Structure 1
Amino acid sequence: EEQFDRVAAKVPPQVELGAVLARVVAEEASVETALADLREDDDESESESEHTERELTDEERRIRELETQVERLQAHVEDLETTVDKKDDRIEELEDELTETRREERQRARERREVSRLQRETDRLERELEAERETVGDLEGKLERLKALWKLDHSNFADVSEAKAGLVPVKVIEQFTTGAIRDADERFGLAEDDIVLFRDASGAGRSTAELLAEIGPRLVLRTGGLSEVADRILFDGDIPVAPAEQVTVQEVDELAVARESEVEAAIEDWERRAADRERQQRAEMVDRLISEHRADRVDRSQG
């Protein structure tokens, strides 16, 4: 019994005590030797069991197939994830390239807009330059015409001296209207003793004629006939009026001149006609008074 207790004290709990006691008693071996032999037997038993595989059931085979499929799918998923990572990296590269391309395109668009703006500005300046050149050309032409105007030939103006003295300015107005007169006054001014030429003298009313009479021109040259009311107002205001054909007028745009001698002749002609008109008016007034007096005497005698 003491031997049993001594053996039991040396045997680990996971080892079967009976097998150890049997070896110690039968083989008269030590506890340590018995334990070592048992371990060798267990290893050999496990090795034999490993070499002898049992046949798997249908369920176990299905499980193994599924596990194999899972392993393959997991490997495929890993491959796909790797591919996705690579594609993500490529997408980032392409997005960076696209961003840079868009930036370059915006820069080129800004440059094109700037070029277009500069081209438009250049075209505008060229048009202005061309217009200025045309204006200069027109002014040069006017200057030449003015020079020619002031260097009038003796054959055309026999009564003009060598220095071309005796020319007077004429202010040309398109129509005998209040608006045209005011416009001319604003553009080049109208003053007393001016010589005024109306290209169209028809249609002037009372207010227009009174406006012209207030200015007091020296002579009014008319193209076309005056209205009766305008003729009477100008006559009462001692404003000489003559047909434009009576005076030779040389024009350069808004500038015009006439010979002083022709102006004086037109005024003298108007004065003669005005004197005749006054005599006729006085005679008509006398005749009217005589007629009224006779009619009054007849009425009294009959009464």
Structure 2
Amino acid sequence: MPLPLYLKSRKGLTRGEITRMAIDCGNPLLVAADVTPAPAFVKKLANMLNAVLFVPESIMAASEKREITRLYAENHKVNLRNSHTRDALAAAIKAFQHYKNKFKQVEAEARKLMAPVSIEKVKALVVRGQTIQRALEVSITKERRNTIEKPVEPLEKTPVIIDYELKIRSLQNRIFFYKEQVRQVKESNKFLLKEETIQKERVKNLTNSLDAVRRKEATTIKQDRAYQQLNREIKTLRRELIKERRVTQKLEKRLETIRYYRGLASKGDIVFLKPVETFTKDGLEKAYRLYDITRGDTILFLDSSGGGASTAQELVKRGVKAVVSRAFIAHKAVEVFTKFGVAVVPYQELSVEWIEGYPYVKTEELDVVLKNGIKQKKIELNAKILDIVEEYKRKRMQEVKREALL
């Protein structure tokens, strides 16, 4: 493995600074990590440099990193000043060892074919996923094309030309760098628009920050106001989290209860009554929105005042099956309901129970009340018919008597 072009570590480096440092050394081909999966920072860096990302099959142990970097440092007289430098070099060596055999095969094949190609360019193609054979074919074809397209021998480059070429390359690299900076800023803006609202995450982040501060300044941080403030916030957030968990548990219990009664309703054991706060147009509209009153439903008037024939007709159009009322319903409304076969049941005749704001009755009980109501209506209708017949007989007898006297 050759000597490193640059081997240093520094705190607080941004992706932009690292990108610029890498470009100043040349065209990066490979970005290596010493852990798997690679950190998001390393992935984004590889993407910015348009480089291949290398990760080991498993996380490199500290002993392995010490051993391979020690041998390398001894052979190349490299001074490893800290663990960060060692880890970076270990990742680079690991990546080189991964491709080492393929690089040797490239060199051997190139010598075998006596191909007039750049060995380094062929290696770059192999790293980017090309087979050795394919990489050689592409490089040879490109080299031949370049040879054919050159009509005359290139002029010898003067120091001025070389200097300008270096300046042009530097400017191109800077343009690429600033474009990446713009893209980074856009990505950062998107990220900043997303807010973390879950209190558990806030507690976790604050706790992690506090742990980091404790590790760095364990002897002095306890006297710092920021530390005390963070502690108070954590305690407050923990209390809030406990409260939220209790609320969540209560909601889960309520949801389980609702599911149980929904199950009873789906089996036909109970019937949910859809409540209507007031028997008015506004009250009906509100109930339509909240409870989706549809054909076959049974509704419950919490306040039946204000209702008349028009509001009753609205419910008839909805196709309701029955109406349960806590109080007296206007006579005109009752006539409309009766005319269109909508049963009107007094609240007192049913054992209405409530669950989480929803009234319900047992299906069997409601059916009995509705059947009794139908029977009662038949009895009342028969009685009314008998009264009409008796009245007709009485009037007819009177007419017959008057005719006999004449």
User: What TM-score range do you get, normalising by the shorter chain?
Assistant: 0.3 to 0.5
Considering Cα pairs closer than 8 Å and 6+ residues apart, tell me whether 1 or 2 has the greater RCO: 1
